[in-house]
Every structure is written in structure tokens, then in C-alpha cells.
Copies of this chain bind each other. A is one copy, B any other.
Amino acid sequence: MNPRSLEKILKDLHRQKITPQQAMKKLQTLPYENLEFAKVDHHRGLRVGMPEVVYCQGKTVAQIKKIIQSMNRVGLSVLATKLSKDNFRKLKSSLPKISEYNETAQTLVIEKNKRQKKSGLIIIISAGTADIPVAEEAAVTAQLLGSKVETIFDVGVAGIHRLLDNLEQVRKARVVIVVAGMEGALASVVGGMVDKPIVAVPTSIGYGTSFGGVSALLTMLNSCAPGMAVVNIDNGFGAGSMAHRINILGDSPGTE
């Protein structure tokens, strides 16, 4: 049921075509959220202020293509994540217009109605070169959503001066994303130095007891630095969208 059908019920009632009892019965089956969805034309993407996100791992190229075409029809922006280069090539052969593929981040972006004004700055810091793909996924996500993004790569704690050298820049950000695998200690160290909200992303980089990112995850969850929260292992997209939601709070004057 969409707003139109709701409107019809109410008008019928107003015109006394139906009784309150009949209206009540019809309304009992009315999905609550649909009243709101209808305003945004049933598009969850627009409702929560985000483009449609397609998590490509485990999907066939045919499935991805179909989803993208469906989004195109309604004019929605698309962010496809974890899209391998091979699959991008196959997609491109049948959807020749797509082009914003980021091989490092393994993302494809189809952006409709680019925003003119960007929100404040998100700084994304990563510990090792191998963490860059996850950091890039976060960057692509936040940028597509409308945030300004700067990245500082390869500043792991084994050489902490590299982080100290960049502290000035970090402190200009509204939100900081820290991406680290192995022991993930970078998040704690950054957390001890800046007073902005920090979104920590553990990565699966490492071997042995890194246990596919569990070591970094635990480090970040146990950090005693205040003002930090953590997303799933390798979840660059999640970090980017969390950081953007935080970021836009700073755009508008102090509304409640």
C-alpha cells in the first residue's frame, strides 16, 4: 500500500463512501513504514540518504548487472563494493557506460546528481600498504555520500614518528577513520592524540595469530582511548558511511 491508496481510503471516508469501521479494517493491514517510504517513492536508498549499495562478493555478474540496471531506471546512484577486476570487465562489456571503477578499492561508482557542496573533512589513516584497499573503500564510500576525504597511508606504530609528522593534518578533520590489520594498535595511538570521533576498521591483513583480522579487532574494541567505535573486519564501506553520517552533523547549525 502506498500513500496514494491511503489517500484514497481517507478521501472515501471523508466523502462518506465508506464507514469508519470499513476504514479501520483496511488500515489494520497498512504497513507502518510504507507511509514514509511512499514519500520517497519506495526507495530505501533515498530514504536513508544513501545510494544503493551492492555487495558483489558471491553474486554473479548477471545478478550485479540486473541490480545496476534497476537502479539506473529510477535514477539512483550505485556503489558496488568488493567487485573484482574480472567481474568489472564483464559488466562493462554489457553496460559500456559504467566507468568509475577503482581497482584498489574494488569499487564501482555510478553517481547521479553530483552534490555541489561537500561536507567537512574525513581523514582516513591506514597502518600498512596492505591496508590501503580497505581504506580506499572507505574513501570512495564517504566521497560518494558527499564528504571531503583525505588519506594518510603507511603510518603504522612501528615508526610512530610518521604519525606524529602528520598530526597537524589529522587534527583538521571532523572525523577520523583508522584502518589497520596485524595488531591494530594504530587506532589506540591515534585515539590518544586527537579529540575527534574515530571509526576504527580492523583488516584481515596479517598471518598466524592475526586470525584473519580478529587480533586487530580485539585491539580496537579494547582500546582505552575514548571516542572510538569499531566496524566489521575489512568493512571499509561501513566505516565510510558511519563517518559520513557523523560528518554531516557538523554541516548544519546547532539544530537539536
Residues on A lying within 8 angstroms of B by beta carbon are: 1, 3, 6-7, 10-11, 13-14, 16, 19-20, 23-24, 27-37, 44, 47-50, 53, 55, 57-59, 63, 120-121, 128-130, 148, 156-161, 164-165, 167-168, 172, 174-175, 182-185, 188-189, 191-193, 195-197, 199-200, 202, 204-235, 237-239, 241-242, 244-247, 249-256
Contact = CB atoms under 8 A, between A and B. Distances in A.
Contact of A33 (B160, B237, B250): B160
A57 B250 contact: no
Given A214-B218, A256-B174, A195 B245 contact: yes
Q: Which of A36, A222, A253, A256 counts the most B-chain CB atoms under 10 A from its CB?
A: A222
Given A33-B193, A174-B256, A253-B254, A226 B238 contact: yes
* Copies of this chain, tallied across the complex: 8
A185 B241 contact: no
Contacts of A242: 197, 226-229
Contact of A11 (B20, B47, B195, B213): B20
B192 A158 contact: yes
Contacts of A130: 58-59
Nearest to A196: B245
Nearest to A57: B207
Given A24-B10, A205-B58, A208-B213, A222 B226 contact: no
B53 A165 contact: no
Contact of A224 (B47, B49, B182, B196): B182
Given A29-B167, A34-B161, 19 more contacts: A10-B27, A13-B13, A13-B20, A31-B32, A120-B256, A174-B249, A183-B224, A197-B245, A207-B232, A207-B235, A215-B219, A226-B237, A226-B242, A227-B244, A228-B242, A229-B242, A250-B250, A253-B253, A253-B254
